[in-house]
Amino acid sequence: MTCAMRSTLTAQVVPLGIHGDDAGGHGPEKVLVITWGSVAVDRPTMDSRICFAMLRDSEAVSGVTREKLYQILTWSFNALAMGCFPAADENGTDFGPAHHPDRAQLAGRPLHPGGMRGAWSEMRGDWKFLRESLHLHDYYNARNCCHLCAAKRDHPSSCEFGRDATVRSTCVNGSEWIAGKKHSGTSPLLSFPGFNIWRVQFDIMHTLDLGILQHAIPSALQELCAADGPFKGPTIESRVQAASAAYHKWCRDNHVTTKTKRISLQWVQGPWPRISQVHCKAAPLRRMVEWIMGVCTDVAASTDDVHVRRRAAFFISLHNCDSIMRSQGRFLDAASAAEVSQGLEDALSLYHAISKACDFKGVRRWPIIPKHHALSHIGFDHAGTNPRQVHCDADEDMVGKMKRIYIKCHGVLASACSRSVCLTGCACTHVKACS
């Protein structure tokens, strides 16, 4: 019986996930950080994530460097799934006396004395990383904006947010996706053992916190800071200052430490108001929902205006969903999963109604973006997985830690210092591919 057969029969299997994201490097450059780790642990960042590679964009050869990294990563995951030291490198060249003789001696032996194996379980990241790593044809900026169904930008299908929406009948299954035309079929990551596109997660942090809320909160604030709004002052500047003061008082009263420095006039200026990450990160935006929900609810209590009531109901639905998700572990019980699905459906439908009414009046607020559609997949297709536990918050923390280590290196030597950690010892002509 081979090592692989023994491990298949006797081993415990550790579910593993990978994450990738760009981080700032020296000056304007970007550095790709790829990490992996078990999804079955709940530990601090440095105890649950392992850095696989960091790659500086300026030294990456288009179509070669990243693909080499992903080829090595896939080869490594295949070895973990088999539970044995591999007998050949990532290119299929057998280890032997002239090619890594030390590895040749280990070939076929168990990776773990107890036969434990690792299996790919999920892939996380922002939409940019998913598109680039899986070679997706359908993504945020394409007309066909969803790699899971036939939704299109600037088409009614992208605004169908109900669980009975017609577009949901076009959702593909795993085998259909592999055989379909939503990707080039050339990504090495598709060779992960057990790869399934439905285990490639839309991340709620990038979708909701750094997506929908970046438009919803400033749109609401622009309305709340109007002359007839709850924040008083003779000018828009003074009303924005009053809103900022009210928010910080709420943070103090509720012992909220995750807060933005201040709400500025820039948040509510111009058509299609939007908050960038420069002004407010994901965690403060998420916590701000509870505060703005309270303000909108107080305003709605004294009026029959449909728009005002919808606005309050939208934030209430989001807050209730977030409270449920944060109260549970990696998997939601059946009742909670149903509540989250219903709550997100309600929130998306309310946002659509608000946006449509504004568009009818010629008011440029509350835009519909592809991330609204992505949130519908999070809400309806998570199959009991808790979106707030399958997220990139800790991954982004790890990326930040790796960035701080990277920028402490000299800009010229940063990548050269890591060339010796090539996982296969291959003699790449593009050495940066293995750094």
Nearest to 310 by CA among 353, 372, 365, 249: 353
DSSP 236-280: HHHHHHHHHHHHHHHHHHTT-----S---GGGT-SSS----TTT-
From residue 423, give the alpha-carbon distance in Å to each of 38, 46, 71, 187, 420.
20, 21, 11, 19, 9
For residue 394, the model assigns a pLDDT of 87
Structure tokens, 315: 């934030």
Which pLDDT tens digit goes with each residue over 321-349? 999 999 998 899 999 999 999 999 999 99
Residues of the chain where predicted confidence (pLDDT) is lower than 50:
1, 4-9, 418-435
From residue 347, give the alpha-carbon distance in Å to each of 320, 323, 337, 414.
10, 14, 15, 46
Start-to-end CA distance of the chain, whole Å, equals: 37
- For 241, phi and psi rounded to 5 degrees? -65, -40
pTM above 0.85, yes or no: yes
Handedness of CA 120, 124, 128, 129 (dihedral sign): negative
DSSP 11-38: --EEEEEEEEEEEE-STT-EEEEEEEEE
Q: Residues with Cβ < 8 Å from 198, sequence gap 6 or more?
A: 148, 173, 174, 381
Give the 3-state secondary structure percentages of the chain, helix then strand then coil, rounded to 5.
50, 10, 40
For residue 434, the model assigns a pLDDT of 34
For residue 10, the model assigns a pLDDT of 53
For residue 50, the model assigns a pLDDT of 92
Quick one: DSSP state of residue 117? E
Which pLDDT tens digit goes with each residue over 217-244? 999 999 999 999 999 999 999 999 999 9
Number of Cα atoms under 13 Å in the Cβ half of residue 302: 6
For residue 422, the model assigns a pLDDT of 38
Name the CA dihedral angle for 57, 59, 61, 64, rounded to a multiple of 10 degrees. Answer: -80
